[in-house]
Amino acid sequence: MKQLFIVAAITALAALASTAFAADGAPPPSREETKARLEQWCKDNPEKCSAAKAKAAQWREECRADPEKCREELRAQADQWCKNNPEKCRDLKEKAEQRRAWCKANPEECRAEMQARREQWCKENPERCRELKEKGEQRREQRSKQQG
């Protein structure tokens, strides 16, 4: 279980890092590079890859059952990673802040990039995409009830 949360925390931090900027201000192609490295690792290590995918699926199910607990554990893992890697953590947070600032200055371009990434992810993960869309609709319904 602990390994799953470590993997999840690192994945979350890597996802955050993938939104960082290159030196010229353009978004880096790191998502594609990361995906390619993972695919290659799975080709080189099919048994380990299969086991990792099974653990990830189990983790997702556990998080669906208790999302708050999952968020708390991920936050604790991320905090621990930052304590163990303060320089990398600081750099990651800086890059994320730069990305937020860029998105604030370029909202249309940022929105278009995020939408393109989301569409690509949904093509690759249709079931998970459908689930997230349903959750979003439920949240919107709850908000409208609270405001009404």
Q: Domain ranges in the chain? A: 2-105
Confidence at 146, pLDDT banded by 50, 70, 90: confident
25-68 pLDDT, tens digit per residue, is 555 546 778 888 889 999 999 999 999 999 988 988 898 899 89
pTM exceeds cut of 0.85: no
- CA–CA distance from 55 to each of 12, 33, 75 (Å)? 16, 23, 19
Residue of 3 and 43 predicted with greater confidence = 43
Among 30, 29, 1, which residue's Cα sits nearest to residue 13?
Answer: 30
Q: Which residue has the higher pLDDT, 145 or 72?
A: 72
Residue carrying structure tokens 């979003």: 136
Q: Which two tokens stand for residue 65?
A: 């059952």
Q: Which residues contact 42 (CB under 8 A, 6 or more apart)?
A: 49
